[in-house]
Amino acid sequence: MTDSHSPASGTTHSNAEVTLSTPTLSSLTLQAEDGHRLSGLLGRPGGAHADAPLGGLVITHDAFGMSRYARSVCERWAGAGFLTLVPALYDRQQTGAGFDDVEQYPERMAAARALRGGLAWDSVLQDVAAAANWLRQEGEVKKVGILGFCVGGSVVWLSAARLAFDAAVAYYPSDILSLTDCQPRCPIQLHFGQHDTLIPIDGVRALLAQRPGLPAFEYPSGHGFDGPSTRHDAAASALAGERALAFLRAQLA
């Protein structure tokens, strides 16, 4: 893996600089193959990409569901020119679940962990497939990628192996060391924190040593370095965002 301590350009950029246009966000309803109906947050790009998005992008949320952070990620990537869609993966357990300020409210953290523990991968993949199908059919994009964080990163890892995507980006996929049988079928890019207590970096390195050629990057950060509050690492978040943007632009062109 590449060891990343500073942006290649020698400067630090905020995620706001990824935004090239003002996007429009709206809610919609998706239907999975088994008939389950779930909500989704759609981000439409503005400006030059309003009528010609760079591609479709399913965004799989972290353990805190449809939070303000999930909304900001949807908005950020739509602003970069993609037609984005965040499926509400907790809807099978609790409709519209999203948890903010979890470090200040332990009961919210506990509730999020309970929902995260209740996820069933087969059902999650049906919900992700419904989002991808919507982007292809209703969004009329030719190529669709997937990007996710934490448990959403695990969903990306699984989706790259089991579903039809054109590109995938996983930030600190929390279950990757227990999903070693997955073989990505599309180009994938991975991002890890060297001080992530949920995903021991030595285990990650051992796994990737068995899969030479997978683009993976390390950052001197902990778990959730793209996320809000004390977990956020501005430099790591910015550099990972730049790399992910360049990768997705190339793969979904």
- Angstrom distance (rounded) from CA 109 to CA 18: 29
Q: What is the pLDDT, as a whole number, of residue 58?
A: 98
- Angstrom distance (rounded) from CA 113 to CA 141: 34
Residues 6+ apart with CB under 8 A from 217: 1, 2, 4, 189, 190, 191, 192, 240, 243
**What residues of the chain score a pLDDT lower than 50?**
5-17
CATH number for the domain whose boundaries are 2-252? 3.40.50.1820
Residue-wise pLDDT for 24-63, tens only, equals 999 999 999 999 999 999 999 999 999 999 999 999 999 9
Contact 242, 250 (CB under 8 A): no
Looking at the DSSP assignment, which residues form a beta bridge with residue 251? none
Residues 6+ apart with CB under 8 A from 74: 25, 41, 42, 43, 59, 84, 85, 86
- Angstrom distance (rounded) from CA 141 to CA 56: 6
Q: What is the pLDDT, as a whole number, of residue 21?
A: 74
